[in-house]
Structure 1
Amino acid sequence: MTFPTFVDLLRQLYVNVAEHEFALPDKQQTDSRVSLLTGVHRKEVSRLRGAGAPVRVVPDSVSRTSAIVARWLADPSFVDARGIPLPLPRASEAGEASFASLVESVTRDLRPRAVLDDWLDRKLVEIDENDRIVLMEGAMVPRGDGEVRLYYFARNLGDHAAAAVQNILADDPPFLERAVHYDGLSEQLAKSLEAYSRKLAIDTLLHLNKHANQSIQSDPGGTSRWNCGIYILTSDGTSLVAEEPPQQKDAGGETS
């Protein structure tokens, strides 16, 4: 992604978050107020708002794929006793777990065969020696699809920024936003900590997904939404900040 493209996307993100998350009660959000909140020129604000805000538009490839994968990772019918997604036959008798029953449990607007062909092409699944469909790790990580990656970039960065800003403005910070950080480490230890934290993070997200997926079965629905994200960063200390790397180990705890 080129720098001008990144800047334009970030500009759209700022305008979108300001418009939807910082509107005053019972007042129409104006270009002037969005410009004041973001620092983006009023003419640019008008152009971006008129073009439609991209952050809340969920691509079909995101909404359908993520919903089916989330069900595969959470529903007891499609995981084993350890919570690992089961290899699924293409179809089976009524009441038995299969790829067809998985897709149909989420949507009947798509044919399971069409979903399977698309996922095989995108390498989200593979066929094992017993002709069963196996979920690949890549199904949980948007890679080749630029539209999907840009959507999650905008959504996650927007939610993180909104939570951070509200934590700063509120007397009693309403959202959890914490990080554990250590500086002055060897490259070997940094990689070891990354691998360990990655495992814990994936386990946590899978557990949360299972709980949420089961909870929505009895939820009447509404307009609220929930997002819990985790990020992990390992760097050499010089590539992201313009300062000398610390000479001593610096242990950091929780940061708001």
Structure 2
Amino acid sequence: MSQPTEPAPSPDGAALHGPVARLLRPLVRLLVQRGITFPALTNLLRELYVNVAEYDFALPGKEQTDSRVSLLTGIHRKEVRRLRGAGAPVSQVPATVSRTSRIIARWVAAPEFTDGQGRPLPLPRSADDASPSFESLVAGVTKDVRPRAVLDEWLDRGLAILDPEGRVRLLEAAYLPKGGDEPQLYYFGRNLHDHIAAAAENVAAPSPRFFERAVHYDGLSDALAARLEERAREIAMGALKQANAEAHAACAEDAGGRHRWNFGIYIYREEVPARDPGTVAGPDSASDAAEGRAP
């Protein structure tokens, strides 16, 4: 008895197979490392397919039926009926992530908390007058947590130290969660979502909507690759600091609304398999860096 065959993808869908396989490979590697099996991922994807088809592909003025969701996703109507309305998994911002990132953003952006070169000043724990202090820094962001509790948390996590004069010094000019804990996993999902979303939007739209480019060179020595990575970190950090300072100042006069904005930069390098004999090593053209599509 012959097995049912999967419907052939459209030409546009087939063209995506290679790029999607490449972008999923590091994710699959992480999933295997963390013990997330293929059946578990399949269950998650099934829920997401139904949720996306139900809400993102609804026709204006028409009810989204089980049959149409099944047609869009290839998932049986019985499964569609079971999964509809469940809602897609949402990554809520952990309270400590939101609070810490906002306090650090203020420390490295607000003029009263930075020096002439835009570096975060060492701050006394408190001040009797209106002078900048760690207490006033925290109080300007949240009244829900005592500054002393924030300081104890930061000292424990290595975000700050006390210098010989008892002042609080920020050790990292950006919030860099580590170790696969909740804050790092939150940013893992948020930043990759936004990058892929921007790229996907650009692919789907008639013309690129979002800025999404990269400079890339192949065939480099280990020493040059390391040097370029270090220089790229300096350039990227400068851009992030400037963007943060301008956004922080602009937010003070903004009426507020429902929009969010994310400006991110990534750097990556790896050793690749040796080229076939006779292949000439050399850099890709920097002008080749393409503007992609995104969410």
Q: Which bin holds the TM-score, normalised by the shorter protein? A: 0.7 to 0.9
CA RMSD between the two structures? 3.4
Match for 2:266: what amino acid?
A: Y
Q: In 1, Cα distance between the equivalents of 2:69 and 2:163?
A: 53
- Structure 1 residues 138, 216: closer, same or farther in 2, change over 3 A? closer
Aligned partner of residue 252 in structure 2, secondary structure: helix
Written as runs of structure 1 = structure 2, the 5 A alignment for 1:25-40 is: none
2: distance between equivalents of 1:122 and 1:32?
Answer: 52
Specify the alignment match of 1:116 in structure 2. 151
Residue in 1 that maps onto 2:160: 125
Equivalent residue, structure 2, for 1:172: 207
Q: Quick one: structure 1 residues 41 and 2, their matched pair in 2 at CA, closer, same or farther if it must change by over 3 Å?
A: farther
Q: Can you list the C-alpha shifts for 1:140-163, whole angstroms capped at 9, x where unaligned?
A: 211136111111111111111111
Match of 2:225 in 1: 190
Distance 1:106 1:67 in 2: 7
Q: Does 1:152 align with 2:187?
A: yes
1:54 corresponds to: 90
* Residue identity matched to 2:239: T
Which residue matches 2:9? none
Secondary structure of 2:149's aligned partner: helix
> How many residue pairs end up in the alignment?
250
Unaligned stretches of 5+ residues in structure 1: none
Indicate if the aligned counterparts of 2:108 and 2:114 stay in contact, CA closer than 8 A. yes
Q: Is the 8 A contact 2:53 2:73 kept in 1?
A: no
Distance across 2 between alignment mates of 1:162 and 1:103? 33
* 1:127/1:133 contact within 8 Å kept: yes
Give the drift of 1:93. 2.1
Deviations 1:201-232 (A, max 9, x none): 01100110010011100111110000111010
In structure 2, do the counterparts of structure 1 residues 85 and 38 end up closer, same or farther at CA, with 3 Å as the change threshold? farther
State the secondary structure of the residue aligned to 2:182.
helix
Contact 2:69 2:80 survives alignment (8 Å)? no
Match of 1:248 among 273, 276, 281: 281
Letter in 1 for 2:238: D
Superposition TM-score, scaled by structure 2 size = 0.73
Letter in structure 1 aligned against 2:36: T
C-alpha separation in 2, matches of 1:48 and 1:124: 43
Cα 1:68–1:18, aligned 2, differ >3 Å: closer, same or farther?
Answer: farther
Q: Distance in 1 between matches of 2:101 and 2:69?
A: 32
Question: Is 1:15 aligned with 2:51?
Answer: no
Distance 1:104 1:113 in 2: 11
Query: 1:33-60 CA deviation, whole Å, 9 max, x = no partner?
Result: 78877888985996697376233x1011
Q: Given that residues 15 and 38 in structure 1 are in contact (C-alpha distance below 8 angstroms), is that contact kept between their aligned partners in structure 2?
A: no
Post-superposition Cα deviations, 1:176-223, rounded to whole Å, max 9, x if no partner, equal 010000001111100010000010001100110010011100111110
Cα distance change, pair 128–200 in 1 and its aligned pair in 2 (3 A): same
**Which residue is equivalent to 1:232?**
267
Query: What is the aligned partner in structure 2 of residue 88 from structure 1?
Result: 123
CA distance, structure 2, for counterparts of residue 228 and residue 171 of structure 1: 23
Pick aligned residue for 2:243 from 208, 214, 219: 208
Q: Is the 8 A contact 1:72 1:85 kept in 2?
A: yes
Tell me the distance in 2 between the aligned counterparts of 1:67 and 1:20. 35
Contact 1:34 1:45 in 2 (8 A): no
The verdict on how the C-alpha distance between 1:174 and 1:22 changes in structure 2, with shifts beyond 3 A counting, is farther
Name the aligned partner's letter for residue 160 of structure 2. V
Deviations 1:100-157 (CA, angstroms, capped at 9, x unpaired):
0000000111100010011111111000000000001275211136111111111111
**Cα distance in 1, alignment partners of residues 113 and 161 from structure 2:** 16
Q: Which residue is equivalent to 2:36? A: 5
